Amino acid sequence: QSALTQPASVSGSPGQSITISCTGTSSDVGGYNYVSWYQQHPGKAPKLMIYDVSNRPSGVSNRFSGSKSGNTASLTISGLQAEDEADYYCSSYTSSSSYVFGTGTKVTVL
């Protein structure tokens, strides 16, 4: 199972919006609405930000939103803040009853 493809890095200025893409296949992202997104600060455990493509867990800022079109899912961070600087990973359920993570994206706040 190959990792989902994400851009290596995305940057933006405070207050701007950025979007991170996550491209898979019809056997994972395109086949199920079980895409989730995780934020990981250096030296910390990942934190769930979005599940089931577009749902936010309780306590996660509404500046984070998710969507999907075909085999590509996206995470949008609006009103970018310094604390959003971190690595972000997508994940999808697969047709093999397993899970696959994305390659990861480093978000830099300029």
Partner 1 sequence: EVQLVQSGAEVKKPGESLRISCKGSGYSFTSYWISWVRQMPGKGLEWMGRIDPSDSYTNYSPSFQGHVTISADKSISTAYLQWSSLKASDTAMYYCARQGGEKGFDPWGQGTLVTVSS
Give the 3-state DSSP-derived string for 37-57, with helices as H, strands as E and coil as C: EEEECCCCCCEEEEECCCECC
The burial of 106, by beta-carbon neighbours within 10 Å (0-12 exposed, 13-18 middle, 19 or more buried), is given as: middle
Report the nearest approach of partner 1 to the CB of residue 80 (Å): 22
Report the residue number, 16 or 108, with the smaller CB distance to partner 1: 108
Report the nearest approach of partner 1 to the CB of residue 79 (Å): 23
Q: Where do contacts with partner 1 occur on this chain (CB under 8 A)?
A: 1, 3, 32, 34, 36, 38, 40, 45-48, 50-52, 57, 89, 91, 93, 96-104
Report the residue number, 14 or 39, with the smaller CB distance to partner 1: 39
Question: Regarding beta strands 47-50 and 35-40, do their DSSP bridges make them parallel or antiparallel, or are they unpaired?
Answer: antiparallel
